[in-house]
Chain A
Amino acid sequence: MAEPLLSVRDLVVEFPTRRGTLRAIDRVSFDLKEGEVLGMVGESGAGKSITGAAIIGLIEPPGRIAGGEVRLRGERIDNLPPDRMRRVRGRRIGKVFQDPLTSLNPLYTVARQLTETIRTHLDVNEKEARRRAIALLDRVGIPAAARRIDDYPHHFSGGMRQRVVIALALCAEPELVIADEPTTALDVSVQAQIIDVLKEICAERGAAVMLITHDMGVIAETADRVAVLYAGRLAEIGPVRDVIKEAEHPYTAGLMGSIPTLTQTSDRLVQIPGSMPRLNAIPTGCAFNPRCTKVFDRCRVERPDPIDRGSGRQVACWLYDRAEARHD
């Protein structure tokens, strides 16, 4: 099998606080193949964004990667010194942030922000950088790009700004784009446009995408595979269709049932009792056990590791352990 583009192994991210160390990410492992779109879902506090930040080396101190490794094409990038990490970030991994208002510098024109990024990472002159920037803006669907490139961010609407941010993430031709809630700040009609642009342009350039979102609908329409996080741990990972149609982890199943859809016929939504534990009170054993309807003794004591279920699917649940087959 070909080497994965990105390989995350047993990633642990910790935040020391006055009342002890919080584990925001606890032994999360996954791979991302070249050109693939991996969705990363979970509720707030599940660790989606922290996972993205850890890969790109943007964990705010005192938070730190306390274990595991991140490899980009086999090369470790989680322990690079800051100046070398800067050459990876932007150049090899691009990032699209949630809020297009705060991820652009309001004092610089779009042209300056784009050409500066292009010239930092690629060996081209100012004229060529500008030509590329205009082509890219045109590609992400900004009308009259050659004229609008000299505008400031506040001249653009929210949707247009997010297109600029996508152009910015892609301008150094990265191999991987991490998109952290790229459409959460936008209206649905604009959301559809942005998702289409992001997907098309990454496919065109062969960039893989890690799409972080809480919206399962967006994942369903965009991603090839999806990883479900719960309380900083990987609950389930697999091809989108399988995970959505036949969720195996009880948490994923509950999550799917709790989303109202445009086609459902039942009157009541499935509800998962309780809420996600805080990081300082994660139960022993499986983190989901107090809310799980299929819980049994072992879940309260031992933490399940992801179990292979075939066709690229992994589920971290004791229900699927061979030794527990009698419980089925």
Chain B
Amino acid sequence: MTDALLQVQGLTRYFDVSKPWLNRVIERSEKQFLTATADVSFEIKRGETFALVGESGSGKSTIAKMIVALLEPSAGTIRFDGQTMNFQSSAAMRALRRRFQMIFQDPFASLNPRWHVGDIIAEPIRTFGLLRGAAVMREVGRLLDIVGLSSADAGKFPHEFSGGQRQRIAIARALSSKPEFIVCDEPTSALDVSVQAQILNLMRDLQDEFGLTYLLISHDLSVVRHMSNRIGVLYLGRLVEVADGKKLFTEPQHPYSRMLLDAVPDLALSGRRRAQVQGEIPNPISPPPGCAFHPRCPLAFDRCRAEVPQPTPPPGGEAACFALGRSG
């Protein structure tokens, strides 16, 4: 048995964004595809928190959805605990599905407003037939307790809770099928900072207690730094750098990672003069040729405009950049 719980290999997903058939015929336009993720490979070890960061449109959430099997990859494989996910076989997927869960960004949209909190949390238990009868509600009470709510809350509706409390309910629901792996897609970006701190602390406690493995998706670099063992940086659907937790912040390799770090407002009031960030993320329907970052990159040279760089291992991680190989 390897210690990698999740292995992602060459994961790619296209979306067809063509105009309707008739328009295409009349206007003689081609089919159009948007590449949301291209050739993404990484591993998540058991018990660690792996984070994916990137700006909007970088493909973070698409990867998350493919990993929890809500979306089928166009190419590439996902191996969970040594088993390749087979999107065709629903029986095999069902057995795997119990073992990974997801926490969504918006706790106002992810809980059914017409269901009691107890039923929301009990649903995975009943679906997977883990317990029956009165034991189900006892388990629900225990889960509510674990996430810092009270077992009496099971009879209430989601609207009776604040944003932070709802996110706790979402976490209890995710825990109820006793998963090993939880994908957290921007779990705190809809919350205020003081509540965010509560949820992040809770997530860490649960990880220690149940030995959970997290995939954390976030655009907030300071949250990612606080939570993760390893970090992958995405740009326009490609993984540009994978680095060990704090190392990304002390020695960022890829020019995009450096730019991203420079752009974060500084609470420490160090008065550092940050480099002016250039340009914006290009349209993913027509990404620039070669390295997608080259139009904004200060280090770009001819090769970057022609070839797509592959991840190469500099000390302490991986970065996909031609400039790094060139005499530092």
Which A residues have a C-beta under 8 Å from some C-beta of B? 43-44, 157, 159-160, 187-193, 195-196, 214-218, 220-222, 240-241, 244-245, 254-264, 267-273, 275-276
Minimum Cβ distance to chain A for residue B167 (Å):
11
User: Which one of A44, A195, A257, A261 lies within 8 Å of B192 (CB-CB)?
Assistant: A44
Contact of A217 among B197, B225, B249, B266 (CB under 8 A): B266
Contact A215 B265 (CB under 8 A): yes
Nearest opposing residue in chain A for B282, CB measure: A157
Whether A258 and B265, one on each chain, are in contact in the complex, defined by CB atoms closer than 8 angstroms, is no
B residues in contact with A217, CB < 8 Å? 264-267
Are B197 and A269 within 8 A (Cβ)? yes
Residue B200 at the chain A interface, CB threshold 8 Å: yes
* CB-defined contacts of A191 to chain B, threshold 8 Å: 263, 265
Chain B residue with Cβ nearest A221:
B265
CB distance from A4 to the nearest CB of B (A): 25
Contact flag A255-B260 (CB < 8 Å), given A192-B277, A260-B223:
no
B-side residues, CB < 8 A to A, are 55-56, 162-165, 192-198, 200-201, 204, 219, 221-223, 225-226, 249, 259-269, 274, 276-277, 280-281
Cβ contacts under 8 Å, A44 to chain B: 192
Given contacts A216-B267, A268-B201, A269-B197, contact A262 B56 (CB under 8 A): no
If A254-B194, A262-B221, A262-B249 touch, whether A245 touches B263 (CB-CB below 8 Å) is no
Known interface pairs A187-B55, A218-B265; A271-B198 also in contact (CB < 8 Å):
yes
Complex interface: chain B residues within 8 A of A188 (CB):
55, 219, 221, 260, 263-264
Q: Which of chain A's residues have a CB closer than 8 A to the CB of B164?
A: 275
B163: chain A residues at CB < 8 Å are 275
Q: Would A260 and B277 count as touching, CB distance under 8 A?
A: no
Can you list 19 pairs linking A and B with CB atoms under 8 Å apart?
Answer: A43-B193, A190-B280, A191-B265, A192-B263, A192-B265, A193-B277, A217-B265, A240-B269, A255-B193, A258-B194, A259-B193, A261-B267, A262-B222, A268-B201, A268-B204, A269-B200, A270-B197, A271-B194, A271-B197
- In the complex, what residues of A have CB within 8 A of residue B269's CB? 220, 240-241, 244-245
Interfacial chain B residues near A216, Cβ < 8 Å: 193, 267
Which chain B positions have C-beta within 8 A of A196?
276
- Choose one: A189, A220, A240, A245; the contact of B277 (CB below 8 Å): A189
Are A262 and B197 closer than 8 Å at their CB atoms? no
A160–B279 Cα distance when bound, in Å, is 10
Contact present for B194 and A221 (CB under 8 Å): no
* Residues in A neighbouring B222, C-beta threshold 8 A: 259-262
Which residues from chain B contact A218 at a C-beta distance below 8 Å?
Answer: 265
Q: How far is the CA of A241 from the CA of B55 in the complex (A)?
A: 29
Chain B residue at minimal CB-CB distance from A216? B267
**A256 to B262 Cα, complex, angstroms:** 21
B223 surroundings in chain A (CB, below 8 A): 260
Tell me how far the C-beta of A117 lies from the nearest C-beta in chain B, rounded to whole angstroms: 25
Task: State in angstroms the CA–CA spacing of A263 and B225 once bound together.
Answer: 9
Not counting A187-B56, A220-B268, A276-B192, a sample of 13 additional A-B residue pairs whose C-beta atoms are within 8 angstroms of each other reads A160-B280, A189-B260, A191-B265, A193-B277, A196-B276, A214-B192, A218-B265, A258-B193, A258-B197, A260-B197, A268-B201, A273-B198, A275-B164
B249: chain A residues at CB < 8 Å are: 262
A264 touches B193 (CB 8 A): no
A43-B192, A157-B280, A214-B192 known; A220 vs B56 contact (CB < 8 Å): no
Docked pose: A270 CA to B262 CA in angstroms: 25
- A192 and B276 alpha carbons, distance in the complex (Å): 8
CA distance A312 to B263 in the complex (A): 30
- Among A196, A255, A262, max chain B CB count under 10 A is at A262
Residue of A whose beta carbon sits closest to that of B259: A189
**Are B194 and A43 touching (Cβ within 8 A)?**
yes
Q: Which of B195, B264, B267, B276 contacts A244 (CB 8 A)?
A: B267
A218–B259 Cα gap in the complex (Å)?
17
Max chain A C-beta neighbours (<10 A), residue from B194, B222, B262: B194
Q: Is the CB of B225 within 8 A of A260?
A: yes
A220, B270: Cα distance in complex, Å: 10
